């Protein structure tokens, strides 16, 4: 846009979230991807989250029920245009196939942002016809799926009269389905991320309230002896409020849903603020007051970290209890020899056993995660994974 040549059909969903699937944009991105990978041909190219168009239009007030049909027609027209570009790239030898990664392809058809696999295939067939291809090359769909988010298997949202599930339609049309987030569930009613894995609980170090009082006393000492020496421009947070974690952590303690939630709070809210203030004050103080600051800082940081560890342990315990509850929910539906497996193995096995699921995409950051996941490849598929999804849906 700065050059005066903006891409057409750009969806400005947010300040840092712009989305486009116009052929001009796709042409640039495909060239960049091929160059970066050092390849002449991609096996498959997925258009990522095209539903941003629907979500953005709905948020702007264009998604009322009386307009939704028209809005979706425009969406699939844009998708068809993108598919025509992809079909031409197949003909040119730069792609072997293409598809879509859509978080809302498993949603209820009543949701404004829902996408439909059957309508994507219709768009692909029309695209192939328009460019003179004998058959379309829409070969892959990626969607979220896990034992808590089983819309791909349970929700009829595609096909004639929305009479089919995504997985049924994919099997019928020969579309490969890659499922993501197999161990990171986002059950809407509970909110936040639920990690589908067993959680070790650290041994207790200190009582929360006892440790909180230690931190509170140190923070009061800072406000009395150090904060008055901090220059303040009159804007922004007062120096006296730089360290109020004893009160703040006590306030949010009961709101922490589990380990995943706590880690998000700690890494995104607490650590950046504390580190920034510590660094700024270490640079600002000079002379005798600097020595006093360093002495206080070296006493305060270990106590604050100890307080954070108590909350980490409490969050771990909440996650452990939730994991145990899920074990109890699904174990009666599993063969006896699999009931001692880890929760992550059970969650992955159920997905891998589900008809229509081609591949389960599982991010594994340590060798132990890899070893845990690989075990299920040696197991016979679960005979009826649908019962697990039904049981988990009943528990929501």
Residue 64, classed as helix, strand or coil, is coil
Please tell me the predicted confidence (pLDDT) of residue 1: 61
The verdict on residue 377 lying in a domain is no
Give the pLDDT band (50/70/90) at residue 77. Answer: very high
pLDDT mean over 288-303: 96
Please tell me the predicted confidence (pLDDT) of residue 13: 72
**Beta-bridge partners for 138:** 98
Please tell me the predicted confidence (pLDDT) of residue 62: 56
Q: Is the pLDDT of residue 10 over 90?
A: no
Q: Which of 182, 164, 163, 200 is nearest to 345 (CA)?
A: 182
Q: Do 186 and 319 have their domain in common?
A: no
Both tokens of 341, joined, read: 């497996």
Please tell me the predicted confidence (pLDDT) of residue 144: 97
Please state the length of the chain. Answer: 396
Question: Is the pLDDT higher at 158 or at 364?
Answer: 158
- What percentage of the chain reaches a pLDDT higher than 70? 95
pLDDT mean over 222-241: 91
DSSP conformation class of 111: S
Whether 276 and 210 have beta carbons less than 8 Å apart is answered as no
Give residue-wise pLDDT tens across range 308-355: 999 999 999 999 999 999 999 999 999 999 999 999 999 999 999 999
Please tell me the predicted confidence (pLDDT) of residue 3: 66
The verdict on residue 394 lying in a domain is no
Both tokens of 287, joined, read: 């002379």
Q: Do 311 and 176 have their domain in common?
A: no
Whether 341 and 169 have beta carbons less than 8 Å apart is answered as no
Residue 14, classed as helix, strand or coil, is strand
The verdict on residue 373 lying in a domain is no
Q: Rounded CA gap, 27 and 118, in Å?
A: 26
pLDDT mean over 237-257: 96
Phi-psi region of 121 (alpha: psi -120 to 50; beta: other; left: phi over 0): alpha
The verdict on residue 1 lying in a domain is no
The verdict on residue 367 lying in a domain is no
The verdict on residue 2 lying in a domain is no
Q: Do 66 and 169 have their domain in common?
A: yes
Number of domains, the chain:
2
Both tokens of 188, joined, read: 């809407």
Q: Is the pLDDT of residue 118 over 60?
A: yes
Q: Is 144 exposed, middle or buried (0-12, 13-18, 19+ CB in 10 A)?
A: buried
Q: Do 33 and 125 have their domain in common?
A: yes
Domain that holds residue 183: 11-195
The residues, any chain, with a CB within 8 Å of residue 291's CB and separated by 6 or more, are none
Question: What backbone torsions phi and psi does residue 258 show, to the nearest 5 degrees?
Answer: 175, -175
**Beta-bridge partners for 11:** 19
Q: Is 117 exposed, middle or buried (0-12, 13-18, 19+ CB in 10 A)?
A: buried
The verdict on residue 351 lying in a domain is no
Q: Do 16 and 99 have their domain in common?
A: yes
Cα 387 from chain centroid?
A: 25
Q: Which of 124, 183, 114 is nearest to 151 (CA)?
A: 114
Question: What backbone torsions phi and psi does residue 377 show, to the nearest 5 degrees?
Answer: -70, -15
Q: Do 165 and 32 have their domain in common?
A: yes
Q: Do 20 and 153 have their domain in common?
A: yes
Q: Do 178 and 273 have their domain in common?
A: no
Whether 349 and 374 have beta carbons less than 8 Å apart is answered as no
DSSP conformation class of 20: -
Q: Rounded CA gap, 188 and 256, in Å?
A: 16
Q: Do 222 and 139 have their domain in common?
A: no
Please tell me the predicted confidence (pLDDT) of residue 5: 74
Whether 266 and 313 have beta carbons less than 8 Å apart is answered as no
Q: Which of 273, 288, 323 is the last residue of a domain?
A: 323
Q: Which of 88, 101, 97 is nearest to 50 (CA)?
A: 101
Q: Do 243 and 185 have their domain in common?
A: no
Distances (CA, A) of 294 to 50, 246, 282, 301, 376: 52, 20, 8, 11, 53
Q: Do 16 and 159 have their domain in common?
A: yes
**Beta-bridge partners for 143:** 179
Q: Do 50 and 115 have their domain in common?
A: yes
Please identify which residue in the block is written with the tokens 């328009």: 130
Give the pLDDT band (50/70/90) at residue 293. Answer: very high
pLDDT mean over 216-222: 98
Give residue-wise pLDDT tens across range 150-209: 999 999 999 999 999 999 999 999 999 999 999 999 876 556 788 999 999 999 888 999
Both tokens of 269, joined, read: 């809210």
Q: Is the pLDDT of residue 134 over 80?
A: yes
Give residue-wise pLDDT tens across range 33-59: 999 999 999 999 999 999 888 887 777
- What percentage of the chain reaches a pLDDT higher than 90? 82
Q: Rounded CA gap, 72 and 67, in Å?
A: 9
The verdict on residue 383 lying in a domain is no
pLDDT mean over 105-109: 95
Q: Is 292 exposed, middle or buried (0-12, 13-18, 19+ CB in 10 A)?
A: middle
Q: Rounded CA gap, 350 and 182, in Å?
A: 10
């Amino acid at each position: 846009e700065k050059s005066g040549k903006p891409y057409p059909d750009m969806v400005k969903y947010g300040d840092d979230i712009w989305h486009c699937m116009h052929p001009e944009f796709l042409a640039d991105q495909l060239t960049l991807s091929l160059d970066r990978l050092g390849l002449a041909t991609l096996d498959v190219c997925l258009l990522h989250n095209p539903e941003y168009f629907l979500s953005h239009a709905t948020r702007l007030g264009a998604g009322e029920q009386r307009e939704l049909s028209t809005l979706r027609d425009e969406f699939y027209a844009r998708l068809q245009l993108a598919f025509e570009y992809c079909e031409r790239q197949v003909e040119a030898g730069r792609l072997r196939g293409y598809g879509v990664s859509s978080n809302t392809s498993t949603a209820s058809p009543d949701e404004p942002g829902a996408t439909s696999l059957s309508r994507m295939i219709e768009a692909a067939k029309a695209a192939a016809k328009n460019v003179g291809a004998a058959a379309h090359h829409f070969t892959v769909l990626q969607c979220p799926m896990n034992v808590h988010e089983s819309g791909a298997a349970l929700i009829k949202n595609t096909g004639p009269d929305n009479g089919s599930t995504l997985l049924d339609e994919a099997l019928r049309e020969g579309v490969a389905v890659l499922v993501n987030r197999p161990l990171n569930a986002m059950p809407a009613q509970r909110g936040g991320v639920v990690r589908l894995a067993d959680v070790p609980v650290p041994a207790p170090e200190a009582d929360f309230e006892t440790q909180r009082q230690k931190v509170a006393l140190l923070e009061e000492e800072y406000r009395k002896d150090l904060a008055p020496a901090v220059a303040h421009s009159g804007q922004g947070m007062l120096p006296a409020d730089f360290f109020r974690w004893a009160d703040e952590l006590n306030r949010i303690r009961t709101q922490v849903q589990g380990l995943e939630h706590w880690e998000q709070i700690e890494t995104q809210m607490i650590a950046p603020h504390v580190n920034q203030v510590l660094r700024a004050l270490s640079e600002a103080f000079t002379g005798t007051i600097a020595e006093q600051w360093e002495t206080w800082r070296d006493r305060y940081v270990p106590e604050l970290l100890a307080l954070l560890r108590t909350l980490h342990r409490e969050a771990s315990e909440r996650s452990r209890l939730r994991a145990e509850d899920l074990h109890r929910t699904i174990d009666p539906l599993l063969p006896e020899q699999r009931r001692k497996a880890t929760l992550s193995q059970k969650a992955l096995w159920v997905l891998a056993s589900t008809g229509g699921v081609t591949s389960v995409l599982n991010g594994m950051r340590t060798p132990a995660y890899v070893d845990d996941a690989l075990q299920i490849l040696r197991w016979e598929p679960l005979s009826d994974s649908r019962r697990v999804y039904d049981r988990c849906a009943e528990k929501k």
